[in-house]
Amino acid sequence: MPLVLIELKNPAVVNADVWKAFDQIQTYKAQIPDVFYTNELLVISDGTEALLGSLSADPERFMAWRTIDGITLDPLGEFNELQTLVRGVLAPQYLLDYLRYFVLFEDEGGIIKKIAGYHQFHAVRLAIGQAVAASRPAGSQKVGVVWHTQGSGKSITMVSFAARVSIKGCADHTLRNGLLCFPSFCNQPDKTETCYQHGIGFGFGDGSNHDIPIMHSKSVGIKVFVHSILIACVEIGNPSITAIAEFSRA
């Protein structure tokens, strides 16, 4: 069952760069599609540059994997991208987690497979650890903040976190009767289309995240915003989505 396909090009061959590897995979798709029936990840490399992408990804969606431990960037140097990728995402302890929680499907008029980047993968793993610690009886009950710049993939981060924290919370016997087992999620996107994306646009291969969200839409101040969160979180186990235009002064 081939889950990962790696296409390598010889850097000693003129014009045999990483994009020739991408083109080769497109040929495989046309000529031997059976190879991709169980595919989760594609890796293309010319021995120096190495990029990771999904089966439906365009060239611009292929990305470098720049860390092994989630802390140090390019730990093996800039010319060892392939080794960093192999050790940072294809090692069993990372790959099994990645395949379960970080491969998503979105309906954009056709099913698109989307995968997390290294920053999303490690942000979620770190946030899970913080959430578990904070939710214990002696915990602070404060998880923290994950900061994203515009266009950096916060939707994938949030959806992956929601899926993983629920299972982690129920699997840990010390948290089974606590807030992390079948928790509620309060999400306040700033656009209606983002609200749809977070609530029902994404799904996982195991069928999770199929709840229809509660949706509201209004511009609110910070004080009202906090009140709306409390209202939205009443129903345990269902994600609650509230769309707001922007933060304004209360």
User: How do 214-217 and 202-204 pair as beta strands?
Assistant: unpaired
User: pLDDT at position 214, please?
Assistant: 38
Of 129-143, 162-176, 188-202, the one with minimum mean pLDDT is 188-202
Higher per-residue pLDDT: 205 or 36:
36
Q: Which long-range contacts (CB under 8 A, 24 or more apart) does 19-26 make?
A: 19/44, 19/59, 20/46, 21/45, 21/46, 22/59, 22/62
Q: Which of 198, 204, 207 is nearest to 98 (CA)?
A: 204
Confidence of residue 92 (pLDDT cuts 50, 70, 90): very high
**Highest mean pLDDT range out of 86-100, 134-148, 210-224?**
86-100
Q: Within 10 Å of residue 141's Cβ, how many Cβ atoms?
A: 9
User: pLDDT at position 21, please?
Assistant: 97
Tens-digit pLDDT profile for residues 110-138: 888 999 999 999 999 998 888 878 877 78
pLDDT higher than threshold 60 for residue 98:
yes
Q: Would you say the pTM of this structure is higher than 0.85?
A: no
Confidence of residue 192 (pLDDT cuts 50, 70, 90): low
User: pLDDT at position 174, please?
Assistant: 52
Confidence of residue 159 (pLDDT cuts 50, 70, 90): confident
Of 29-33, 135-139, 177-181, 227-231, the one with minimum mean pLDDT is 227-231
Q: What separation in angstroms does the CA of 125 have from each of 26, 120, 195?
A: 32, 9, 24
Average pLDDT of the chain to the nearest whole number: 76
Q: Which 8-state DSSP code applies to residue 73? A: B
Confidence of residue 170 (pLDDT cuts 50, 70, 90): low
pLDDT higher than threshold 70 for residue 78:
yes
Confidence of residue 31 (pLDDT cuts 50, 70, 90): very high
Confidence of residue 140 (pLDDT cuts 50, 70, 90): confident
Q: Within 10 Å of residue 52's Cβ, how many Cβ atoms?
A: 25
Q: Is 89 exposed, middle or buried (0-12, 13-18, 19+ CB in 10 A)?
A: buried
